Amino acid sequence: MADSCKCINRAPAKVKSRELFMLFSLFVVQFLGFSFLLEGLIVIFRKNGLPLEKIGFVYLLGIFMVFKFLWAPFIDRVRLFKGVGHLKGWLVSIQFLLFGVLVLIGMCDVTEHITVIIALSMVVGFLAATHDVALDALVYRLVGESNRGVGNGIKIAGGMMGYMLGGGLALVLYGLLGWSGSFIFMCTLSVLAIGQLLFFKEGEHVSYGKEKIPYHRIILRFWSGRGKMRWLRLMTIYPMGVSLSYFLIGPIMVDVGWSVEKIGFIVNVLGAAVGAATAYICGRMINRLGRKRMLVVLAFMQSLCILMLLLPVFGYSGFWASLAIGSMLLIYAPSSTVLSTIMMDMCSEETPATDFAMQHSLTFLVGIISGIMGTILAGFFGYSLILISASLCSLAGVYLSVRFYSAADTSDETSAAGMMASESLNI
């Protein structure tokens, strides 16, 4: 394998501020239209009297994020344009396509062109997932090993802000400016991100040889390296606890007596803003404190924050309920930032898009399944049992985090993960 593909990573020791802002902008735009269609479109359709059986199709947008690893090898291997950076070519193409599809959706009548809007929304879902694959690979190439914490802090922060602007502000603008007005807002932000990308100069990172490895082997070999099963256990158990509990925030707050408007503002707007800030701060702290320490501390804090949700369940409202919700919103994004950073440590130089997409798809699926199952089981067994179980999952994350790094042959956390990635290439 090493003879068939020459890979070069020329990421600078320090990333330029304008490049970090470009990454942030691209993640914002990536989730902008996606979150509006996934969150806001459902509200708009329901308000216009669309039956639930049709509205349910909108949730299929998320399926592309689960299966994006299937076409990720294509992004790793195929260069769209000569004379343009490998990943820049993909990102510019997808950005223009996303812009065009959003324009088309904005031109539709939300009451008459329902089928067309849903079909175009599926296209947005596919393009957003593909954009995510290419953009994650660009983060890997651009920030380098020493800046991965910062790069992933930017990634999570941008996603949170895109969620807030698309699922929150764009929906507010819909009420003020109408359907077309909300899409003009989103398209304007897209143009600003595209402009930054066009002036970005990507370095030459990858040069492929004549021999090509079949796509299915690229996917399967990732899990063949030493320590990958330990990482698989950690990657699935670690986010399970916070996902089990996060999905219960809305129902718990409704039962406490909070209004829908208050819940929407706290979770979708204020929560996203807080998440963006804490993700960036966490990204800055990773290099100083280390991956292992951050994993252990955040898993322990997750366990405590989850238990705090028992306060509103047991009847404590007002300040205590707000404290419990605030604690969950504070801890959610940093945990994702650390996991995302380690996922990049596990990626190979040759196929970063595929390697990262596989890991992210798995954690995305675990989060969805955990959230759905937690909500269903809470209906049968009550909030308390599910929250205690979720807290125990986070404590299991503490144990698995310690074991993951303790089992490595080297004390260098980044090198330990990188060694596992490199061993996969030789299989």
Q: 177-234 pLDDT, tens per residue? A: 888 888 888 888 889 888 899 888 887 655 443 446 676 677 777 777 777 888 899 9
More confident residue, 427 or 156: 156
Q: Which two tokens stand for residue 184?
A: 């003009």
| pLDDT reported for residue 1 | 35
Domains 16-202 and 225-412 share a fold: yes
Calculate ∠ Cα 391-335-147, nearest 5°. Answer: 160
| pLDDT reported for residue 272 | 84
| pLDDT reported for residue 13 | 55
| pLDDT reported for residue 146 | 81
| pLDDT reported for residue 420 | 55
Whether the predicted pLDDT of 373 surpasses 80: yes
Collect all residues with Cβ–Cβ distance below 8 Å to 16 and sequence separation of at least 6. none
- Sketch the domain layout of the chain as residue ranges: 16-202, 225-412
CATH number of 225-412: 1.20.1250.20
More confident residue, 216 or 311: 311
The answer to whether 124 and 61 are in contact (CB under 8 A) is yes
Measure the CA dihedral 300/302/307/309, to 10°: 160
Mean pLDDT within 61-85: 87
Mean pLDDT within 57-73: 85
Instruction: Report residue 315: phi and psi, to 5°.
Output: 105, 0
| pLDDT reported for residue 153 | 94
Average pLDDT, the chain: 82
Whether the predicted pLDDT of 363 surpasses 70: yes
pLDDT band at 12 (very low <50, low <70, confident <90, very high): low
Collect all residues with Cβ–Cβ distance below 8 Å to 185 and sequence separation of at least 6. 169, 170, 173, 177
What number of helices (H) and strands (E) belong to the chain?
21, 2
Q: Which among 92, 159, 72, 74 is positioned nearest to 333, based on CA atoms?
A: 159
The percentage of the chain sitting over the pLDDT mark of 70, rounded to a whole number, equals 87
Q: Which two tokens stand for residue 52?
A: 């639930």
3-class DSSP state for residue 208?
strand
Whether the predicted pLDDT of 394 surpasses 50: yes
Point out the least confidently predicted range of 3-12, 218-227, 371-380: 3-12
| pLDDT reported for residue 8 | 44
Whether the predicted pLDDT of 338 surpasses 80: yes
Whether the predicted pLDDT of 375 surpasses 60: yes
Whether the predicted pLDDT of 10 surpasses 60: no
Q: Which among 26, 31, 216, 279 is positioned nearest to 134, based on CA atoms?
A: 26
| pLDDT reported for residue 7 | 43
The answer to whether 63 and 125 are in contact (CB under 8 A) is yes
pLDDT band at 112 (very low <50, low <70, confident <90, very high): confident
Assigned CATH topology for domain 16-202: Growth Hormone; Chain: A; (1.20.1250)
Mean pLDDT within 78-103: 89
Q: 24-38 pLDDT, tens per residue? A: 999 999 988 888 887
Whether the predicted pLDDT of 94 surpasses 80: yes
Mean pLDDT within 11-17: 67
Q: Which two tokens stand for residue 85?
A: 């950076």
pLDDT band at 130 (very low <50, low <70, confident <90, very high): very high
pLDDT band at 328 (very low <50, low <70, confident <90, very high): confident
Whether the predicted pLDDT of 6 surpasses 50: no
The answer to whether 242 and 386 are in contact (CB under 8 A) is no
DSSP H or E stretch at residue 388: helix 383-406
pLDDT band at 5 (very low <50, low <70, confident <90, very high): very low
Mean pLDDT within 70-85: 86
Contacts 24+ apart (CB under 8 A), 307-315: 307/387, 307/388, 307/391, 309/245, 309/248, 309/249, 309/252, 309/383, 309/387, 310/383, 310/384, 310/387, 310/388, 312/252, 312/253, 312/255, 312/256, 313/252, 313/383, 313/384, 313/387
| pLDDT reported for residue 390 | 92
Eight-state DSSP code of residue 166: I
| pLDDT reported for residue 209 | 38
Point out the least confidently predicted range of 117-121, 172-176, 280-284, 405-409: 405-409
More confident residue, 21 or 287: 21
More confident residue, 418 or 314: 314
Q: What is the pTM of this model?
A: 0.85
